[in-house]
Amino acid sequence: MPIFHYKGYKTDGTQAAGTIEADGLQDALANIKALGVYPKDISALREKGKSWFSVKSDDALLPYLTRQLSTLLSAGVPLIDALRSLSEENTGFWRSVLVAIRENVSAGASLSRALEAHSGLFPDFYVSMVSAGEQSGTLDKVLIRVADFLEKQASLRAKLRTAMIYPIFMASVGFVVLSFLFTFVVPKIVRIFENSKSALPFITVVLIAISNLFVNYWWLLVIIAVALILAARRLRQRHGRFLDAMRLKLPGNVLQSLYFGRFARTLGFLIGGGLPMIKALELSAKATGNIVIEEKIMQAAQGVAEGARLSTSLGGFPPVLLQLISTGEKSGTLVEILGKAADSYEEDFERRVQRALSLLEPSMILIMGLLVGFIVLAVLLPMFQLNQLVK
């Protein structure tokens, strides 16, 4: 439940201040006046337990809430009552969001305008689709399409995360094991060789140096890791376009299928929802996740605004996709063809990811084997030398 901080005056003229929990601003005003305080300033505080992580984890609720709202509206429930039902069914952060949206709608704002106040939770395409549904009188049908689209996108992201779990797990375990070996096991073994006066093999000298680095300068490794993370973020901020261009040139064209699939899926979804072509292209450009492709789509939007066809304006796009778009434009089935193109690109992306992972897994095992072999060889070679000296 939202928390409000208030300042005001009591009936005897003394100042009063405090905090109060309420379903919304109007409810908070009523509760404050019931305490005998006439508020002169009231503001919402961050809700208890709300954090960046909780907002991110609750994003999975958006498709469900959208579908529930569509069901209520299609059953003839008024919008304000539907929002009230959803707010009463949910708790925590999303309850306060739904209460705020309901209050804005009750005050006379449209649903799309109320959603704009929470742009961090509701993407631009979401607000635009709701606005189109309000104008056409088909809000319940549009919300169903939005829910389907959000679930499709969430499913694709979930598949990608699932595919990356194993290699990330393997890399993490490998790092922990090697750190343990270099920090605790290797120093005890190489202490025998350090006390010997015989010359050590170069590979053993390297092993001792690495072990000393982990034992005596572990803090330096932590600083280097943090510095690399910060440098990567800064590089992304300053040279994002260059990095996105490099992503398009990765071996196997893995990410190209992802970007073009996002474009086709989003554009078909937005056009099918009643948005004008120019607006749909602008929103689709932002949804791709690649600055280079976004620029090409925006150039195509300018060409379409000047009267050109979409298929001839999309420079640098795959010929197959352009041919499909051209066929859809001529036959009037652009939405259906874009959906089929998106399915094809998403399936191709999943195949390419699986193929890349099938090569990555044995590569990681090979690297781990080489590192373990390096340690074993660095330990055994001086032992053989000591054995020869004894003989």
Calpha distance 324→258 (Å, rounded): 17
Q: Are residues 37 and 104 in the same domain?
A: no
Could you give the percent of the chain with pLDDT greater than 70? 88
Residue bearing tokens 């003839």 = 76
In 3D space, the residue among 3, 4, 8 whose CA is nearest the CA of residue 41 turns out to be 8
- What pLDDT score does 194 carry? 63
Contacts of 276 (CB under 8 A, 6+ apart): none
Lowest mean pLDDT among 7-11, 43-47, 59-63, 80-84: 43-47
Contacts of 80 (CB under 8 A, 6+ apart): 102, 105, 106
H-state helical runs in the chain? 25-34, 52-57, 61-74, 79-89, 93-106, 111-116, 124-136, 139-180, 186-195, 202-216, 218-238, 240-247, 254-272, 277-287, 291-305, 310-313, 319-331, 334-390
Calpha distance 258→156 (Å, rounded): 10
Confidence of residue 52 (pLDDT cuts 50, 70, 90): very low
Question: In this predicted model, what pLDDT tens digit does every residue of 264-322 receive, in sequence order?
Answer: 988 988 888 888 889 889 888 888 888 888 889 999 999 899 888 888 888 888 899 99
Q: Are residues 41 and 77 in the same domain?
A: no
Task: State the average pLDDT over residues 2-7.
Answer: 66
Greater pLDDT, 49 or 342: 342
Question: In this predicted model, what pLDDT tens digit does every residue of 158-173 receive, in sequence order?
Answer: 877 887 788 888 888 8
Cα distances (angstroms) measured from residue 194 to each of 120, 180, 198: 59, 20, 9
Q: What single-letter amino acid sits at 330? A: K
Q: Are residues 186 and 251 in the same domain?
A: yes
CA–centroid distance for 222 within its chain: 26
Lowest mean pLDDT among 31-40, 190-199, 278-287: 190-199
Residue 22 confidence (pLDDT) above 70: no
> Looking at the domain assignment, is residue 279 inside a domain?
yes
Q: Are residues 349 and 253 in the same domain?
A: yes
Q: Are residues 284 and 361 in the same domain?
A: yes
Confidence of residue 5 (pLDDT cuts 50, 70, 90): low
Rounded to 5 degrees, φ, ψ at 110 are -75, 165
Lowest mean pLDDT among 43-52, 119-128, 195-204, 297-306: 43-52
> Looking at the domain assignment, is residue 102 inside a domain?
yes
Q: Are residues 268 and 383 in the same domain?
A: yes
- What pLDDT score does 195 carry? 64
3-state secondary structure of 6: strand
> Looking at the domain assignment, is residue 251 inside a domain?
yes
Q: Tell me the CATH number at 99.
A: 1.20.81.30
Query: Encoding tokens for residue 374?
Result: 């390096």
Q: Are residues 200 and 342 in the same domain?
A: yes
Residue bearing tokens 């060409």 = 303
Residue 337 confidence (pLDDT) above 90: yes
Give Dmax (Cα) for the chain.
103
- What pLDDT score does 48 carry? 42
What range defines the domain where residue 26 resides?
Answer: 3-45
- What pLDDT score does 357 carry? 80
Q: Are residues 110 and 64 in the same domain?
A: yes
Residue 46 confidence (pLDDT) above 60: no
- What pLDDT score does 3 carry? 59
Contact 79, 73 (CB under 8 A): yes
> Looking at the domain assignment, is residue 225 inside a domain?
yes
Residue 49 confidence (pLDDT) above 80: no
Residue 21 confidence (pLDDT) above 50: yes
Q: Are residues 210 and 333 in the same domain?
A: yes
Residue 192 confidence (pLDDT) above 80: no
- What pLDDT score does 386 carry? 66
Residue bearing tokens 């005056």 = 9
What secondary structure letter does DSSP report for 167? H
Task: State the average pLDDT over residues 319-327.
Answer: 91
H or E element, residue 18: strand 15-21
pTM above 0.85, yes or no: no
Calpha distance 149→282 (Å, rounded): 17
Q: Are residues 246 and 285 in the same domain?
A: yes
> Of 95, 116, 151, at which residue does a domain stop?
151
Greater pLDDT, 59 or 320: 320
**Domains in the chain: how many in total?**
3
Greater pLDDT, 326 or 192: 326
- What pLDDT score does 324 carry? 92
Calpha distance 111→128 (Å, rounded): 11
In 3D space, the residue among 139, 174, 160, 155 whose CA is nearest the CA of residue 66 turns out to be 139
Q: Are residues 70 and 23 in the same domain?
A: no
- The strand order across the sheet containing 37-45 reads 15-21, 3-10, 37-45
Q: Are residues 122 and 204 in the same domain?
A: no
Query: Encoding tokens for residue 86?
Result: 């959803």
Residue bearing tokens 């299928």 = 257
> Looking at the domain assignment, is residue 159 inside a domain?
no
Task: State the average pLDDT over residues 215-233.
Answer: 88
Confidence of residue 55 (pLDDT cuts 50, 70, 90): very low
> Looking at the domain assignment, is residue 145 inside a domain?
yes
Task: State the average pLDDT over residues 115-121.
Answer: 81
Residue 43 confidence (pLDDT) above 70: no
| Mean pLDDT, rounded, of the chain | 81
In 3D space, the residue among 274, 296, 272, 294 whose CA is nearest the CA of residue 285 turns out to be 294
